[in-house]
Amino acid sequence: MTQLKKLYKKFSIFKENLYPKDLKGWFGVDKLKVTLKDIKKIVKNYYHDSFLHFIKKVRDLIFAQNIFLLVKEWSEDQWPLFYLVSFLKKEKIIEVKKDGKIKLLKKELLKFFPRKRNEKEIQKIIEKKLKTKLNLEAFSNSLFYRKVVAQYDQFPISLSSAIFIVKKILDYLPLNKKFLFIGDDDFISVYLSLTEPKVESVVVDIDEKLLEKIREISRKFHLKIKTKKLDIRKMKKMNENFIGFSSNPVYTFEGIKAFLNFGMNQLGKDGGFVFLSVSDEAIGNRILFLEEFFVKKRLKIKEVIREKVYYPFEMVHPEDKILFERWKKFFNENFIKSSPMIGASLWIFEYVPFNIPKPKKQLFYAYL
C-alpha cells in the first residue's frame, strides 16, 4: 500500500507540472487572459484525483486489451490517458506496445488489484464453487437462507441482480481492501468473495441470525468476510475505514439518507466508491432532494442503471396481498407470480474526499 501511495504522490506532481502548461494552449483557453498560476489553481480544484480514483485508473490500464477503449469507459478525452501512460512508462511500471497493448513490468502490483469479471464468468465461478446450477430468477438468498424478516423490511433481490451488482463492484473496486456491506440479506458479500477471494468484506446488519448464516458460509468456503451486529440509527462511526460500501436500504427518503450517512462516515481520506440500490417505491419526486443530498456528501454520480436489479414475486407486507388479489381479476396466478415484484436502480458514486469550491462563470468555448 505504501508503494501505491508513493506512486500516487509522484503522479500528482507529474500531472500538476505538465497539465496546466498544456491547458494554456487549448481551444478557447488560449484566448483567455489567465496566468499559468490561475490555470494551476483551476487544475488543483477541479482536476485533482483522489488516491482511489488514481488506483482504479492504473488497474484499468494494466488490464486493458486496448488502451484507447478506456477513453469510452472513462468518458474522457485522450489527455488523462496520455498523462497516465506517460507517467507509468517513465516509472518503468509498464511497457507500451505499438498495437496498443500494455506489458506490466512490475508484476508484484497484481496482488493489489481485483479482476473485472462479466456476469457469465461470475456465474460459472459461483456454480463451480457451490457445485450447483444457478437459477438466476430465484431469490439471491435461496441457496443459503430462504427466510425473510418483515420486521427489518428484508426482501432479497433476484440472483441475477446480485450477480450484476458483483460485476459492477468489480468494475470499480480498485484494491483488495476492506469493502463494507450495510445490510446484506441479498448475500452479495458472499457472491463477491466467492468470485474474488482476495477482497476483504465486512457486513453490518441488525439481524443476528442473518449474520450467523453469513459467518457459517464464510467458514465453509474460507471467505474473507467479517460481520458485526449493529443498528445504523444508533452508531455513527466504526473503528476502521473502507474503500467503498454497498447498500440496499429501506426505500424511504429518510431510510436512504440514514444508510448513506452511516456509510459515508466509514470512508476515509483516500476516497471511495458507493453502490446504492434504490426503487422509487416510496420516494417519487423526492428523488430530486436525494440528488441534492448526494451533492452535499460530495458523491459524483458515475452510473444510474435501470432494469438490471429487481425482486422476484413475494408477498411480504399486507398491501402485497391486496395488490395480488386485484391483479388476479386480470391475469393468471402463475403469470403474476413469475413477474418482477419491484424494480430498482443501481446508483454508483465516486466519493470525493476533499472540498471543491463552487466554480466561477466559465466562458462558453473555454475548455478549462
For the stretch 317-350, pLDDT in tens is 889 899 999 999 999 999 999 999 999 999 999 9
199 and 252 housed in the same domain: yes
Residues 48-62 have pLDDT tens digits of 999 999 999 999 999
Residues 119-161 have pLDDT tens digits of 999 999 999 999 999 999 999 999 887 665 555 566 899 999 9
106 and 221 housed in the same domain: no
Domain that holds residue 256: 119-351
Nearest to 264 by CA among 280, 279, 283, 249: 249
87 and 213 housed in the same domain: no
132 and 257 housed in the same domain: yes
**Helices (H), ranges, the chain:** 2-23, 36-46, 51-63, 70-74, 78-90, 119-130, 159-172, 188-195, 208-221, 253-264, 287-296, 318-327, 333-337
Cβ within 8 Å of residue 90, ≥6 positions away: 14
Residues 212-254 have pLDDT tens digits of 999 999 999 999 999 999 999 999 999 899 999 999 998 899 9
Residues 169-181 have pLDDT tens digits of 999 999 999 999 9
Record the pTM: 0.94
Q: Is residue 312 pLDDT above 60, yes or no? A: yes
On whether the CB atoms of residues 327 and 336 are closer than 8 A, the answer is: yes
95 and 132 housed in the same domain: no
> Who wins on pLDDT, 83 or 101?
83
Distances (CA, A) of 131 to 126, 141, 166, 186, 331: 8, 16, 19, 20, 37
95 and 144 housed in the same domain: no
Nearest to 180 by CA among 274, 251, 250, 117: 274
Q: If you count them, how many residues does the chain have?
A: 368
58 and 178 housed in the same domain: no
321 and 238 housed in the same domain: yes
357: in domain = no
Distances (CA, A) of 244 to 169, 170, 340, 368: 9, 11, 29, 30
Tell me the average pLDDT of the chain: 92
Q: What is the pLDDT of residue 21?
A: 85
133 and 233 housed in the same domain: yes
> Who wins on pLDDT, 251 or 182?
182
28: in domain = yes
Question: How many domains is the chain built from?
Answer: 2
Q: What is the pLDDT of residue 38?
A: 84
Q: DSSP 3-state assignment of 257?
A: helix
Last residue of a domain, one of 89, 112, 135: 112
